[in-house]
């Protein structure tokens, strides 16, 4: 178990995030500790609702969790697919804006291999996804990972943002 505190990107409030192990096949589940009954919000496609410039999940009793992208990307990159994420607010903190603090959080909590086969998704052909308005889209293509780590390339369509360069955020050991 490990925790981190920081300011939320959109709301500017301080929030604590505590991660705890979850049993096999539980998935990643957010727990809103700040709300009565501590409602659970599963991190899966069935719980995604519209959000402005962020991913929003809605769970028990209408409870929402926002700006989950960095933590979920880190969990996926590190092979963590069963996790309880307790929050003291509705939005995860932005921290330094990268994945580094969330990788460190998961490393401090410890990663344990469970004795149950993992369910995985493999991309074996290019996939394009778009929705209305048509300026929002993403593409996924099969490609070998960079040697010794994971990389990311983001290309924005507006000139002010420019183009981010790929950079390894964590070196993964073979399991």
Mean pLDDT to the nearest integer, 38-61: 91
Residue 52 has pLDDT above 50, yes or no: yes
pTM beyond cutoff 0.85: no
Residue 99 has pLDDT above 90, yes or no: no
d(CA 75, CA 81): 7
Q: What is the per-residue pLDDT for 148?
A: 55
Structure tokens at 143: 């490609």
Cβ distance 86 to 109 under 8 Å? Answer: no
Residue 18 has pLDDT above 60, yes or no: yes
Residue 127 has pLDDT above 70, yes or no: yes
Q: What is the per-residue pLDDT for 134?
A: 67
Residue 9 has pLDDT above 60, yes or no: yes
Per the prediction, the chain carries an average pLDDT of 81
Structure tokens at 54: 């962020």
Whether omega before 57 lies within 30 degrees of 0, making that bond cis, reads: no
């Amino acid at each position: 178990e490990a925790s981190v505190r920081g300011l939320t990107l959109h709301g500017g409030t301080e929030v604590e995030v505590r991660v705890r192990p979850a049993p096999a096949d539980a998935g990643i589940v957010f727990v809103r500790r700040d709300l009565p009954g501590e409602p659970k919000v599963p991190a899966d496609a069935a719980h995604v609702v519209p959000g402005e410039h962020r991913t929003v999940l809605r769970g028990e009793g209408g409870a929402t969790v926002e700006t989950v992208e960095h933590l979920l990307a880190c969990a996926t990159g590190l092979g963590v697919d069963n996790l309880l994420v307790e929050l003291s607010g509705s939005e995860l903190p932005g921290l330094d804006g990268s994945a580094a603090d969330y990788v460190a959080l998961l490393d401090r909590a410890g990663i344990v291999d469970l004795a149950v086969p993992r369910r995985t998704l493999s991309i074996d052909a290019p996939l394009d996804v778009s929705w209305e308005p048509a300026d929002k889209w993403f593409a996924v293509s099969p490609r070998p990972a960079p040697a010794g780590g994971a990389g990311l390339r983001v290309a924005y369509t507006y000139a002010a943002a420019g183009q981010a360069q790929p950079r390894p955020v964590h070196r993964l050991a073979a399991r």
